[in-house]
Structure 1
Amino acid sequence: MRPVFFLSDFGLQDPYVGVVKAVLAQKAPGIGVVDLAHDLPPQDLRRAAYALFEAVPYLPEGSVLLAVVDPGVGTARRAVAALGRRAYVGPDNGLFTLAWLLDPPRRAYALDRVKPPRPQGLDPLPGWRPGAFTFHGRDRFAPAAAHLALGLPPEALGEEVPVESLLRLPLALTPGPEGEILTFDRFGNAITTLLQAPLGGWVEVAGRRVPIRRTFGEVGVGEGVAYLGSAGLLEIALNRGSAREAWGLEEGMPVRLTGP
């Protein structure tokens, strides 16, 4: 049985995460489920795409990645399973854009044959019809992820679709010199689309020149610093503060590498 790695923007105040995991356990008893993140900013596809990019290199080959950040749930957007060295299950909305730069899908399937789970061991309640069009994490993605975790054929999930038709976000990672702010982490550090952080150089953002160093400790408290982050992308931070708040940074702002 293959492990399932689960990421969402569901948060932990509601039972949504637990219900999805209950369906996984119902469909594949004994399944191993690892939570990657659930407190991502709601409906923020760029932030979720980055989180998957950061995680995918460390997930075992053959594992199943279940990701649900889905602003278009209930619309005509497709539900899909895509197969590369890992299996990806989620909405076809660009969520996997950056992960697929590292692990391109070779086949993909629309989840149009997936049947939603049925409530278990309950007495009938007059007028009650469980199910909805807005919880595909429970009704479509969890059953599909369990199916793949069991090693069952993906063709049973639905019709095969061309991998070229899978949606991607308009994002590009580049060595520079120009890029943009991709997203922010919870500390207010700006994660950029730049793949290089040349020591001794600078990065320009929002009218500022920020020095590129190895780590925060090489600048004083309250000073700006840029460095190569844990995912291999240049990040811009304020030592002991939030660069996002202090400098009014936003997603999509241009950044540029410059020399000494």
Structure 2
Amino acid sequence: MRPIVTLLTDFGTADGYVAEMKGVLLTHAPDATLVDVSHEVPAHDVESARLAVARYWRRFPRGTVHLAVVDPGVGSARAALAVESDGRFLVGPDNGVLSPALLAAGAQVVALPLPPRAAPTFHGRDLFAPAAARLATGTPLDALGDPIDDPVVRRTPEARRLADGGIEGSVIAIDRFGNAITNLVTLGGGAIEVEGRALPLQRVYADVAPGSPLALVGSNGLVEIAVRDGNAAARLGLVRGARVVLRPAPRA
């Protein structure tokens, strides 16, 4: 099977930065299949990139190389990483963007040396893309750099149980539809309290009338707040960090 390299960046597609990275990848790994996950991560938003990586990195076949470059600290003293985790490889800056793979059992990580002629403002092209290409063509992880035992790891904040039995959480992301994704998990019914509203948990968006707000469990297993055929973030004034409370359904 041809090697697969995925790309996630905040570069957009207007300026040619992504094309430069692809040129390096295909020069050193000409048989690679390049998959654009997204280049529309909000600029410098490491947390959004981390959450995106968490969604897809294990969905690809073993041996896939994931290149994730959202790197507001480019050129600073932050390390550059290559990771082998659960049969996949990830390459990117040491700022927490690779946390989903770092948290998996058995993950191995090395610090990548900076090539002498690397542009200090474009490690995506001059450092990360060449490393990803080497992994895609079979170079072992330990040949790329020295092991590191203290990479930066970001975690989703944990919800907490309140004295009255509710579970307090927060909005951790807003997707492109305006759905507010929370850190709440539930296997039963109940309601979500947010911005003075109580939204009963539904199964799908179509369970309510167009334009109506609702809460449901999304495809990633987390509770999200939505507006059918609309934008919940705009309608309800929701932003990352907004407080939400799960009121579990009473037990029969």
The TM-score, its normalising length taken from structure 1, stands at 0.86
Structure 1 distance, partners of 2:194, 2:101, is 26
**Which amino acid in structure 1 is aligned with residue 188 of structure 2?**
P
In the alignment, residue 156 of structure 2 is paired with which amino acid? L
How far 1:60 sits from its partner (Å)? Answer: 0.9
Q: Aligned to 1:93, what secondary structure does the other structure show?
A: coil
In the aligned structure 2, how far is the partner of 1:241 from the partner of 1:182?
19
Who is 2:164 aligned against?
none
Equivalent in the alignment of 2:184: 194
Counterpart in 2 of 1:248?
237
Deviation at 1:97, TM superposition (A): 2.3
Query: What letter is aligned with 2:122?
Result: F
1:158 equivalent to 2:158? Answer: no
1:201-220 equivalences in 2 (<5 Å): 201-220=190-209
Give the Å deviation of 1:99.
4.6
1:136-182 per-residue CA deviation (whole Å, 9 max, x = no partner) reads 110100000001111112223221111xx111224245697332111
Identify, as 1 or 2, the structure richer in strand: 2
What count of residue pairs does the alignment treat as equivalent? 242
Q: Given the alignment of the two structures, is residue 234 of structure 1 paired with residue 234 of structure 2, yes or no?
A: no
Question: Paired residue for 1:139, among 126, 145, 164?
Answer: 126
- Distance (whole Å) between structure 1 residues aligned to residue 52 and residue 160 of structure 2: 20
Contact 2:96–2:152 (CA under 8 A) maintained in structure 1: yes
Separation in structure 1 between the aligned mates of residue 36 and residue 142 of structure 2, nearest angstrom: 27
Distance in 2 (alpha carbons) for counterparts of 1:99 and 1:205 = 32
Q: Any conservation in 1 of the 2:199–2:215 contact (CA below 8 Å)?
A: yes
Cα distance, 1:8 vs structure 2: 0.8
C-alpha contact (below 8 Å) 1:81/1:88 kept by paired residues: yes
Q: Is the 8 A contact 2:114 2:127 kept in 1?
A: no
Is there any run of 5+ residues in structure 1 with no aligned partner, and where? 117-130
Q: Identify the range of structure 1 (170-179 vs 234-243) with the bigger mean alpha-carbon deviation.
A: 170-179
Question: Counterpart of 1:87 in structure 2: which amino acid?
Answer: F
| Structure with bigger RCO (C-alpha 8 Å, 6+ apart) | 1
Answer whether contact 2:171 2:243 (CA < 8 A) is retained. Answer: yes
How far the C-alpha of 1:115 sits from its partner, in A, is 6.0
- Give ranges in structure 2 of 5+ residues lacking alignment: 162-166
Match of 1:182 in 2: 172
Alignment CA distance shift 1:252-1:198 (3 Å): same
TM-score normalized by the length of structure 2: 0.89
Percent sequence identity over matched residues? 42
Task: Give the conservation status (yes or no) of the 8 Å contact 1:24–1:146.
Answer: yes
Question: In 2, are the aligned partners of 1:195 and 1:232 still within 8 Å (CA)?
Answer: yes
What is the alpha-carbon distance in structure 1 between the residues aligned to residue 205 and residue 101 of structure 2? 27
